[in-house]
Structures are given as C-alpha cells and as structure tokens.
Structure 1
Amino acid sequence: MAKTIQAYFSTENDAESAKASLQSLSVDQDTVEAIPEDTDMTPIVPVAGSTNSGGGTFNFTEVVSPKHDRDSALSDKKHLTHVLHFSVKEEEYDRAIQVIKDHNGHMDKKDF
C-alpha cells in the first residue's frame, strides 16, 4: 500500500533536490509547488527531530512553545516556500523520510 507524503522546504531548489533523491525509491505522483501564503503552518515541524527518523536531539516542546521569541519562531515557518507531494510504498516510507530529513524538510507532525 502507498503512503502519501507532503514535505515542506525553504527553497524550490531544496524541494527539487529531495525529489531527485527520491527517484531511487518507488515514488509516484511527485510534484513540487509553491506554498500558498494563507497556508496554516502551525503543525509543521522539522523532520530532523521526528521520532520515526531516529535522529538528532529534538525537544518537541521547543517547537510548540519555543524559548525564544514566538514571533521569530512563526516567521521561521514562513520561510518554508515549497511543498513536495509524493506517494511511496509503505515499506520504503522510512527511507523516504530519511531523504526529506537529509534535505532539511519539514512535515505535518501528525504524519509521523
């Protein structure tokens, strides 16, 4: 069964680079699009800190309630400009997440 994934990136180049790296997997329907300005980015978190991808030191509380200025935390998410949509076979999901992580991607926290 295939899983549909949306990954968010700071630049179109990052999104396209991740898309190219995903070609080694069984990926379908892969597209890169600009993120509409009115998109709610509240649930989007860095993949580097996901428990599924097994990496890094990540404090989820820091994303939800950062110690630094809340406005700057929100503006950081506004720097995400492009989204990569794709479907991948369930058995290759972890490898796809690693590709997104390697390209500094972000995903909706509910998708982990």
Structure 2
Amino acid sequence: MSKYVQAYFQTENDAEGAKSSLQKLAVEGEMLEAVPEEADLTPIVPLAGSTSTGGGTFTFTEVISPKHDHEEALTDKKHLTHVLHFSVEEESLEEALKIMKDHGGHVDKKLLK
C-alpha cells in the first residue's frame, strides 16, 4: 500500500534536492509547486525538529526561536515556499521521510505517527 506525502520546504532548491534524492526509491507522481497563498499549514511540523535559515520572509527572532503551538507545529510558516507531493510504498516511507528531513522538509504530523 502506498502513502501520499506532502513535504514543504523553505526554498525551491531544497525541494528539488529532495525530489532528486527520492529517485532511488519507488515513488510515483512527484510534483513540485509553489505553496498557494491560501494553504492551511497548521498541521505541518519540521522533520528535523527545527527550522534552518533560508530564503523567505521572516524575522531574525523567528529563525532563532520559531513560533510553535503546544504540539510543536510551527504557527508562523511564511518561510515555507514550495511543496513536493509524491506517493511512496509504505515499506519505503521511513527512508523517504529521512530524505525529506535531510533537505529541511516539513510534513503533516499525522505522517509521523
């Protein structure tokens, strides 16, 4: 059974790097696009547990101490500019998430359960 993944990134380069690294796995339907202005990113959490300093519009304080809610989801996600969509077989999900983490990806916290 395959799992659908949406991973969010600070830059297009981060997302392209993750997409390229996924090629060693059996993924389907990879699509990279800019995050729509109206996107609800409330359930999105960083895989690495913190954000990195990349492009986007945010203050220095937000980089040092990003705003999180009580469940560690970022409450200010203006810095996430691109989303990579793909499907991966369940047995490869952990490796796919590691690739997303290595490229600074953020995913829906439901994927981590």
Measured against the shorter chain, the TM-score band is: 0.7 to 0.9
Number of aligned positions between the proteins = 93
Superposition pairs of residues 86-105 of structure 1, within 5 angstroms:
86-105=86-105
1:23 aligns with 2:23: yes
Deviation at 1:74, TM superposition (A): 3.8
Is the 8 Å Cα contact of residues 69 and 75 (structure 2) preserved in structure 1? no
What residue in structure 2 maps to residue 7 of structure 1? 7
- Counterparts of 1:110 and 1:27 in 2: how far apart (Å)? 19
Structure number with higher helix proportion: 1
What are the ranges of 5 or more consecutive residues in structure 1 without an aligned counterpart? 50-61, 67-72
1:63 and 2:68 are equivalent in the alignment:
yes
1:63, CA displacement in angstroms? 2.8
Cα distance in 2 between the residues matched to 1:97 and 1:32: 16
Q: Shift of residue 108 of structure 1?
A: 1.1
Separation (CA, whole Å) in 1 of partners of 2:11 and 2:78: 11
Tell me if the contact between 2:31 and 2:85 (Cα under 8 Å) persists in the aligned partners.
yes
Contact 2:28 2:87 in 1 (8 A): yes
| Whole-angstrom CA distance in 1 between matches of 2:78 and 2:41 | 8
Q: CA deviation at 1:25?
A: 0.4
Distance 1:110 1:103 in 2: 19
Query: If the length of structure 1 is used for normalisation, what is the TM-score?
Result: 0.77
List gaps (5 residues or longer) in structure 2.
Answer: 50-66
Does the CA-based 8 Å contact 1:45-1:63 persist in structure 2?
no
Deviation of the 1:42 alpha carbon: 1.4
Aligned to 1:82: 82
> Sequence identity, in percent?
58
Map of 2:41 onto structure 1: 41
Question: CA-to-partner distance for each residue in 1:33-62, whole Å, 9 max, x for gaps?
Answer: 10001111111110113xxxxxxxxxxxx7
Alpha-carbon distance, 1:64 to partner: 1.6
Deviations 1:46-102 (A, max 9, x none): 0113xxxxxxxxxxxx73249xxxxxx644x11100000001111101000000000
